[in-house]
Amino acid sequence: MHCLSEHYARIWEYGGEIIKLNLDSTKNIGVDIKEDGSDVFKRLYVCSKAIKDGWVRGCRRVIELDGCFLKRQCKGELLTAMGRDGKNQVYPIAWAMIDVEKKDNWEWSINLLVEDLCLELGEGLAIIFDLHKALVGAVKEKLPLVEHRQCAIHVYVNFKKTMEELKEMNRSAYEHFMARNLEIILEARTKPLLTMLEELEMYVMEWFYRMSIIRLTCRGDVCPTLLTKLDDRCKDMRLFTNMYCMTYRLWSVVASDTKVFEVRLGFESFQVDLGEKFCTCRLWEISGIPCVHACATMNHTQQ
């Protein structure tokens, strides 16, 4: 127990190193005060300056909040906030260690996240989380204007049951899914607090390094994955071949002014505003990638 007390006493040194190595990072340590005046560790929140800036500058306004139990000697939970970058890949934002998942701890974590990312009341932001009562209450109170999307954990459970079938049907697809599991978290959560934090930080650092190497191979400002999606949508907007191998032009574009257009296909009609980067189908607004209607409009205006 004495060694464990010394281990937790080093948390303040750990927090100081975070600020020293990455100025303007956020480190917040919460404690409970005992009757004798001594303090006992309760919770810890970490978000680095570089990660904050990266989310604000280049990530979609989508955040997933979740938590998992810690398996070490002193129990607790690890809370995580994950985003999506321009390539639609997972982007780690912040994490927190708490004693128990309750409304007070979620409010504390979300309040710090709101300050770090300048989320204000959550307008224009979508948050994905499960229906844990404490989390639902905290989000409603701290981010009243946020758009909520329920975490499809039940879908995951059903999918997990079919993984062995997928393994038999398509080995490469099975290995792809398994390789993307965050096994580092499952292993790290069994370690003492500081060891777990260091392993998580090393994993995040390596992840960002791998992503930076991939970006160096890209030409221009748009990554290859998005270029492929745009190319597919451009093909969809031009031609359609039916079961009789007869080809038709899909979308017709009618100008309303220099920036606003109406895009039609049969009885379907959508309004596209190139200036506001908006289409009434909302796909452009949600994904950040021009939808087929926007592609048709850009092709019409030769942009």
**Whether 187 and 242 share a structural domain:** no
Residues 91, 197, single domain; the answer is: yes
Q: Judge whether 240 lies within some domain.
A: yes
In a domain, residue 39? The reply is no
Tell me, yes or no, whether 145 and 235 share the same domain. Answer: no
Sequential DSSP letters for 213-276: HHHHT--SSS-HHHHHHHHHHHHHHHEEE-TTS-EEE--EEEESSSSEEEEEETTEEEEEETTT
- Residue range 187-193: average pLDDT? 70
Q: Are residues 205 and 258 in the same domain?
A: no
Same domain membership, residue 72 and residue 186 = yes
For residue 238, tell me if it sits in a domain. yes
Q: Is the pTM of this model over 0.75?
A: no
Count of residues making up the chain: 303
Mean pLDDT of 62-78: 80
Q: What is the rounded CA–CA span in Å between residue 63 and residue 46?
A: 16
Whether residue 199 is found in the same domain as residue 274: no
Structural domain containing residue 246: 224-301
In the structure, what pLDDT confidence band is assigned to residue 248 with cuts at 50, 70 and 90? very low
Which percentage of the chain shows pLDDT scores above 90?
Answer: 14
Do 253 and 284 belong together in one domain? yes
- Based on the fold, state whether residues 68 and 190 are members of the same structural domain: yes
244 half-sphere exposure, CB direction, 13 A CA radius: 2
Residue 225, pLDDT score: 75
Check pLDDT > 90 for residue 185: no
Is there a single domain that holds both residue 140 and residue 264?
Answer: no
Q: Pick the more confident residue, 223 or 45.
A: 45
Q: Are residues 228 and 212 in the same domain?
A: no
Query: In this structure, is residue 43 part of a structural domain?
Result: no
Residue 179 has pLDDT above 90, yes or no: no
